[in-house]
Amino acid sequence: MKQKIYFSGLIIKHEKLEQIKLNIPDNIYIAEASTPYANYYGQLPRTAKPNSIFLFTKKFHFLEELICYSSSLEKCLFERINIASALVESGGKQYPAIRIKNFPDYSQLVKLEKCLQEKNIVFIEKIHLDERVKTIVSKPFFLEELEPNFYLDLIEEHKGYFVAESHLSPEEFEATITQIRYNGICKLFDAEQGVVYNDGKLTHLIRIFSESLNLEMLKCLSKEFSKL
């Protein structure tokens, strides 16, 4: 029987965030990932449906705190939500945020803001972000172990993970991804780095996104990574 594993950890990305402007009196700063899974779908936005939304807050909220709010937020919104804690690094500064994943509709953002404010969460109205920023998202993981060191995400579709030896710098990681995409033998994919603390030790992960994801593909990419 395949083992199912729960733990929390980080996903670290370098990506573009674009502001979403809401026509409300107490306008808050909300941004979204404008080109999600860019190495898979390309640099053009794929759909008009929200993907990763960041609501910027005056103070940092820990993941456990937000998880405690999640059930009442879902009742408030009448929607299931994927909530996480985040830091966005830009221009030498860190900005705390709440990350909402796969939100159903832009028209519900005003209601989302009000539901969060009922939990005494205070938002900020204005920040300046560089064209590309670093996002550090603290999130829960629910994975199925396919084989030792290879995992399938049971919450988010088309995502899997394999264990990496170490964390690479942004430049090293981008160079590795480019080398594999253009010279490797694996199928098309998008990748990001992650880190989790599980069973008393720190483990580095590579998160893979692909609509063709399976164990064979994860093994192929793991082998390609180990060559470089």
**Alpha-carbon gap, residue 37 to 15, rounded angstroms:** 9
Contact yes or no for 162/36 (Cβ under 8 A): no
User: Is-contact 77 100, C-beta < 8 A?
Assistant: no
Q: What percent of the chain has pLDDT over 90?
A: 65
CA–CA gap between residue 204 and residue 201 (Å, rounded): 10
Q: Are the beta carbons of 54 and 99 closer than 8 angstroms? A: yes
Determine whether domain 17-131 maps to CATH 3.30.70.
yes
pLDDT tens by residue, 53-82: 999 999 999 999 999 998 888 888 877 889
Q: How many H-runs (helices) and E-runs (strands) does the chain carry?
A: 5, 11
Classify burial at 75, counting beta carbons within 10 Å of its beta carbon; exposed 0-12, middle 13-18, buried 19 or more: exposed
Instruction: Give the amino acid at 117.
Output: Q
- Listed residue (218, 161, 160, 163) closest to 187, CA to CA: 218
CA–CA gap between residue 30 and residue 98 (Å, rounded): 10
Q: Point out the least confidently predicted range of 57-66, 99-108, 193-202.
A: 99-108
Alpha-carbon distance of 45 to 139, in angstroms, equals: 24
Integer angstrom CA distances of residue 227 from 13, 164, 196, 207:
23, 12, 23, 18
Q: How many CA atoms lie within 13 A of 158 on its CB side?
A: 10
Lowest mean pLDDT among 53-57, 123-127, 161-165: 123-127
pTM of the complete model: 0.90
| pLDDT given at position 76 | 87
| Tokens, residue 187 | 């199928």
The answer to whether 37 and 190 have CB atoms below 8 angstroms apart is yes
Going by pLDDT thresholds of 50, 70 and 90, the confidence category of residue 14 is very high
| Domain spans of the chain, in order of start | 17-131, 137-227
Instruction: Outline where DSSP puts E strands in 57-127.
Output: 82-90, 93-101
- CB neighbourhood size of 4 (10 A): 12
Cα gap 188→210, rounded to integer Å = 7
